């Protein structure tokens, strides 16, 4: 699940997730007939994403990668259907999202350096 710009707006190009936004999102989902289990999952996933800080350096990237592999291995290859809705599943997804963000930024920085040399 990817984060979108919040109702409260964008600050410095980053999405701002506030408690008010989470509450409004919850109300919209509930009044739209979304099952309560799905509402709980969506609301929890927003909080979980914010609990995993952005990667700041290569050492932190390697630590997140190690955690992601360890948690993924612990989940097993079969991944029961309710795993993705568990705290561990949401944490695994959040780690994965941060890893992807870092990898995309690193690739863009590498491409920019390559262009500068030409």
Tokens encoding 80: 């029961």
Confidence of residue 10 (pLDDT cuts 50, 70, 90): very low
Question: pTM for this structure?
Answer: 0.57
Residues 10, 112, 110: CA angle, nearest 5 degrees: 100
Residue 37 has pLDDT above 90, yes or no: no
Tokens encoding 53: 């800080």
Q: Give the integer Cα–Cα distance in Å for 26 and 19.
A: 11
Report pLDDT for 118. Answer: 72
Tokens encoding 55: 């990667």
Residue 6 has pLDDT above 80, yes or no: no
Percent of the chain with pLDDT over 90: 21
Q: Are 28 and 42 in contact (CB under 8 A)?
A: no
- Cβ count within 10 A of residue 89: 19
Report pLDDT for 99. Answer: 93
């Amino acid at each position: 699940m990817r984060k979108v710009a919040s109702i409260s707006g964008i600050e410095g190009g980053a999405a701002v997730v506030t408690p008010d936004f989470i509450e409004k999102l919850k109300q919209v989902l509930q009044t739209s007939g979304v099952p309560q289990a799905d509402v709980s999952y969506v609301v929890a996933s927003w909080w979980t994403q914010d609990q995993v800080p952005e990667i700041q350096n290569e050492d932190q990237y390697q630590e997140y990668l190690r955690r992601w592999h360890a948690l993924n291995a612990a989940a097993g290859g079969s991944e029961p259907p309710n795993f993705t809705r568990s705290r561990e599943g949401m944490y695994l997804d959040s780690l994965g999202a941060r890893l992807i963000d870092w990898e995309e930024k690193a690739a863009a920085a590498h491409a920019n350096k390559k262009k500068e040399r030409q």
